[in-house]
């Protein structure tokens, strides 16, 4: 009986694979026909690997590390800088029991920034049709 | 930014404010996935594991350049190999 599979997988082809484990990336050649212990062998020669990733913004230097710390700019787009200030103000009020009622106001502002940041990231700097990513706002 | 925080909290030192701003940046970056970057490195023969920078939140994809200079996206393994080595990690 013939099957209707539109794609036939060749299970004997070696291919490069990667995986993430313990804050490291593993790179190997996957050989489905090899014994289990040799199935994920290391690459046999030096190769250039390009990683594409989401990252954290670079930290500001503290003043003991760099005198220029006062003038540093965040890597985040400029329209989101005020939300970082709001978060710092919120944290400051949380350390003062007599003024802790001020904290939720600034927390709400920061959360608004998070929502706008997700929308900005999802827009991907393109107009019209785009890939949709499921996001919780 | 530091001056703005100081208007509300004059008792905080500049370094304390910078640490708070860094924490805010970390949270903002992690929750919005706003910043993307690409970086390259060269593999070493007979080594499978390579450490990732602390600033990396999520790896989106990985390209490998072959001997002819063509970069191709490689597949991500679901899970991990049964046998693993603890060197270079």
Closest CB to A117: pick one of B1, B18, B34.
Answer: B34
Q: What is the tens place of the pLDDT at every residue in B14-44? A: 889 999 999 999 999 999 999 999 999 999 8
A23 and chain B: CB distance < 8 Å anywhere? Answer: yes
- On whether residue B10 sits in a domain, the answer given is yes
ipTM: 0.86
- On whether residue B15 sits in a domain, the answer given is yes
Let me know: does A112 contact B28? Beta carbons within 8 Å: no
**Cα A90 from Cα A110, distance rounded (Å):** 9
Kindly state the tokens that stand for A100.
Answer: 């802790």
The total number of structural domains in chain B stands at: 1
Residue B60 domain boundaries: 2-74
Q: Which chain A residues contact residue B24 at CB under 8 A? A: 83-84, 87-88, 91, 110
Establish how many alpha carbons lie within 13 A of residue A42's alpha carbon, considering only the half-sphere containing its beta carbon: 16
Closest CB to A51: pick one of B15, B45, B62.
Answer: B62
Over its C-alpha atoms, chain A yields an Rg (Å, rounded) of 24
Kindly state the tokens that stand for A9.
Answer: 């997988």
Q: What is the tens place of the pLDDT at every residue in A52-95? A: 999 999 998 877 776 666 778 889 999 999 999 999 999 999 99
Q: pTM for the complete prediction?
A: 0.80
The count of other CB atoms within 10 Å of the CB of residue B75 is 13
B10 and chain A: CB distance < 8 Å anywhere? Answer: no
Nearest residue of A to residue B15, measured between CA atoms? A62
**For the residues B56-69, what does the mean pLDDT come to?**
90
A29 and chain B: CB distance < 8 Å anywhere? Answer: no
B79 and chain A: CB distance < 8 Å anywhere? Answer: yes
- On whether residue B62 sits in a domain, the answer given is yes
A103 and chain B: CB distance < 8 Å anywhere? Answer: no
The continuous run of DSSP H or E covering B63 comes out as strand B56-65
Query: Which residues contact residue A28 at a Cβ distance below 8 angstroms, ignoring those fewer than 6 apart?
Result: A16, A17, A18, A40, A41, A42, A43, B48, B81
- On whether residue B85 sits in a domain, the answer given is no
- On whether residue B79 sits in a domain, the answer given is no
The pLDDT confidence band at residue B47, using thresholds 50, 70 and 90, is: confident
């Amino acid at each position: 009986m013939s099957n209707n599979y539109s794609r036939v997988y060749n299970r004997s082809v070696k291919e490069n694979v990667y995986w993430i484990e313990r804050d490291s990336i593993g790179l190997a050649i996957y050989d489905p026909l090899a014994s289990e212990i040799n199935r994920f062998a290391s690459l046999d020669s030096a190769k250039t690997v390009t990683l594409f990733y989401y990252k954290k913004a670079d930290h500001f230097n503290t003043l003991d590390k760099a005198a220029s710390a006062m003038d540093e700019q965040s890597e985040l787009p400029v329209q989101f800088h005020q939300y970082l200030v709001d978060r710092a103000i919120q944290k400051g009020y949380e350390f003062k029991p007599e003024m802790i009622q001020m904290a939720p106001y600034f927390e709400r502002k920061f959360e608004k920034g998070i929502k706008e940041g997700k929308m900005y990231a999802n827009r991907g700097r393109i107009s019209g049709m785009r890939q949709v990513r499921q996001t919780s706002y | 930014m530091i001056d703005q925080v100081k208007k509300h909290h004059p008792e905080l030192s500049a370094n304390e404010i910078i640490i708070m701003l860094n924490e805010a940046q970390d949270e903002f970056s992690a929750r919005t996935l706003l910043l993307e970057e690409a970086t390259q490195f060269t593999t070493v023969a007979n080594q499978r594991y390579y450490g990732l920078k602390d600033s990396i939140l999520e790896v989106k994809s990985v390209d490998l350049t072959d001997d002819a200079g063509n970069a191709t996206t490689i597949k991500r393994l679901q899970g991990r190999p049964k046998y693993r080595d603890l060197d270079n990690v």
